[in-house]
Amino acid sequence: MAAQSSGKTDDLSTLFATSFKYRQNNKDGDVKTGLLSKALKLDHNRTIVDTTACATFTELIATGGPYVIGTQLRFTPDGGNITAIDTIAATTGNWMFDAAKTLSYVKTEDWSTVPEASRSDRKTLQAAADAYLDMWSDSSAKAKVPWGNPCTRTEGSMHVTPDCRSGAPSGGGTKNSDRRYVIDETVGSCDVLVAFGGRQPDSHEFRLVGGKLVLVHTVTV
């Protein structure tokens, strides 16, 4: 966040592991010339932590950029060094993009800690995310999604509530591939960076409470 706000990666780079890799919108790149080299005033930030996979996912919104950003960081097992930065960054002209509207929607979303009795384990969270993402290519997947009611889906300038099933696909399309997961059981969240339809850079984040899907948030380039 400090690097993105300043547009300088000098301090951040001291944490890079020797095998560090930078990826932006599903393409390998150079962190020195990527999005982190652009100073942005951040209007929103939220981070989940995966203590099993040693990874984090951070959601950023900069209405003055404008950008809506989803970034996964991966760390060495001791958490001391960053092995990878993997960013999906949507801006003007991208699908359903409107940073100001997205900001207004996410301000209404509850991503607080889920009481232990209502938490799902890692396997359940990933299975729910996979079932949702499989709907585009598998006609049976919709029945496997643990739909909650109410459930809210935020996709850029589109806000679907109280039924996330509205507009959901029923197979016949191309598989959403190259899935990279960050899972935080404490907030019931699973974020997946994917090649949507096998090609479009995309982040889908899901929140389950009591085993039911209650929030879906997407960033699509």
Tens-digit pLDDT profile for residues 46-83: 999 999 999 999 999 999 999 999 999 999 999 899 99
Q: What is the CATH number of the domain that holds 53?
A: 3.10.450
Q: Is 143 a domain residue?
A: yes
The model's confidence at residue 177, banded by pLDDT at 50, 70 and 90, is very high
Q: How far apart are CA 160 and CA 218, in angstroms?
A: 12
Q: Residues 6 or more apart from 51 whose CB is under 8 A from it?
A: none
What is the value of pTM for the model shown? Answer: 0.96
pLDDT at residue 166 in the model: 93
Claim to verify: residue 39 and residue 89 sit in the same structural domain: yes
40/135 same-domain check: no
Tokens 């919108």, residue located: 25
Tell me, yes or no, whether 122 and 102 share the same domain: no
On whether both 15 and 85 belong to a single domain, the answer is yes
Residues 93 and 121 occupy one common structural domain: no
| 132 and 88 within one domain | no
Contact 216, 154 (CB under 8 A): yes
Q: Which domain holds residue 206?
A: 116-220
Residues 124 and 97 in one domain: no
pLDDT at 19: 94
User: pLDDT value at position 158?
Assistant: 95
Question: What's the mean per-residue pLDDT of the chain?
Answer: 97
Are 163 and 73 in the same domain?
no
Give the Å distances, CA to CA, from 195 to 38, 58, 135, 198: 24, 18, 15, 5
Domains identified in the chain, total number? 2
Encode pLDDT of 209-220 as tens digits.
999 999 999 999
Please indicate, yes or no, if residue 111 is contained in any of the structural domains: no
Residue 90 lies in a domain: yes
Q: Would 211 be classed as within a structural domain?
A: yes
Query: pLDDT by residue (tens digit) across 143-160?
Result: 999 999 999 999 999 999
- The number of beta carbons lying within 10 Å of the beta carbon of residue 181 is 19
